[in-house]
Structure 1
Amino acid sequence: MSTTPPPDISFEQDALGRLILIAPGGTRHVNVHPAKMFPLTEKDHWISIQSENSREILCVEDPQTLPEPSRSLLLGALARRDFVPIIQVIHRIVRMADGHQWHVTTDRGDTTFEVETDESIQNLGHGRLVIVDRRNTRYLIPSVPSLDRVSKRKLEHYY
């Protein structure tokens, strides 16, 4: 991985909507994908730029230092990839033979998902939890203490 100063790179979008990286020296990489390296702790910094086959090309430490329109193109691509529903209420957690089924309300509405093991629930410290379901979707609880009393009680085993 190389961290590249922003003036040395730029982004474009082709007619098909694919993101193109123009790397130092003018090398063009078509259909690159940005990925947050630390999506929960450094969500606005450290963006890995990956090739079509998910190999890292370079890292952008701070996308805000990119000039327009490169900054908007990169941040737009990140927003399309970034899907982390915020759990607001836990209605129930049902034990199943091969894991647990969660029934919750998120910032995007009511949903149900399945979690395989307790290891899929990670305590991030400072009252934050992340839950990874069977489809590898991450759900965030940004503040367990801020949840309603019933939701907190359902989490006692994990928190």
Structure 2
Amino acid sequence: MTPMPLSPVPAFELERDAFGRLVFVAAHGERHIGVVPVRAFPIAAPDEGISIVGADGHELIWIDRLDALPGPLQALLREEFAQREFVPEIRRLKQVSTFSTPSIWEVETDRGDARFVLHAEEDIRRVGRFALLIVGSQGVQFSVRDMSALDRGSRRLIERFL
């Protein structure tokens, strides 16, 4: 099976101005200050389908795959995403206070230990076949990229809420 050919990435540049804002420079030289990269599928396919959106909300360019870009451009976009996106990944559930909501969850994440209140079962959303997005009481979103990769105890705790 041959992979589908990707559409060529149009020539453009991204840079930061003196204030730290992203500046999009089109192939013909037109500059757009304060652009924002947006992932089309931030959980399921974070490196596929990226749009660079101008300050006016209009798309300036569509990028099929992040890895199709030159290294320095990839690095700048990854840096921008890291600054804007804060979605800790749950690696293990340590404890839940009760199996009804609201309940207090104590978890181990890729960014350290965390504690949050789960207000309702609806705050746990399935994203794809194995992934979950869990919204804590302060609005912080936690991800579980692959339920099957969690330890047995963590899976059992989460399954009680699904």
Cα distance, 1:34–1:135 mapped onto 2, change above 3 Å? farther
The residue matched to 1:35 in structure 2 has which SS?
A: strand
Cα distance, 1:143–1:73 mapped onto 2, change above 3 Å? closer
Q: What is aligned with 2:38?
A: 35
TM-score (norm 1): 0.79
Contact 1:130/1:140 (8 A) holds in 2: yes
- Separation of aligned partners in 2, 1:80 and 1:19: 12
Q: What is aligned with 1:138?
A: 141
- Separation of aligned partners in 1, 2:151 and 2:71: 43
Cα distance, 1:32–1:141 mapped onto 2, change above 3 Å? same
Cα distance, 1:137–1:27 mapped onto 2, change above 3 Å? farther
- Separation of aligned partners in 1, 2:75 and 2:121: 38
2:92 alignment partner AA: V
Match of 2:119 among 112, 116, 119: 116
TM-score (norm 2): 0.77
| Larger RCO of the pair (alpha carbons < 8 Å, separation 6+) | 1
Q: What is aligned with 1:79?
A: 82
Within a 5 Å distance, the mapping from 1:1-159 to structure 2 comes to: 6-23=9-26, 25-52=28-55, 55-58=57-60, 59-67=62-70, 69-95=72-98, 99-159=102-162
Aligned length: 155
The residue matched to 1:85 in structure 2 has which SS?
A: coil
What does the per-residue CA deviation read over 1:81-138, in whole Å, with 9 as the maximum and x for residues that have no partner? Answer: 2322121221222359973321111111111122332122112344322212234322
The residue matched to 1:158 in structure 2 has which SS?
A: coil
Contact 1:94/1:100 (8 A) holds in 2: yes
2:127 alignment partner AA: L
Aligned-residue CA RMSD (Å): 2.7
The answer for unaligned runs of 5 or more in structure 2 is 1-6
Contact 1:13/1:73 (8 A) holds in 2: no
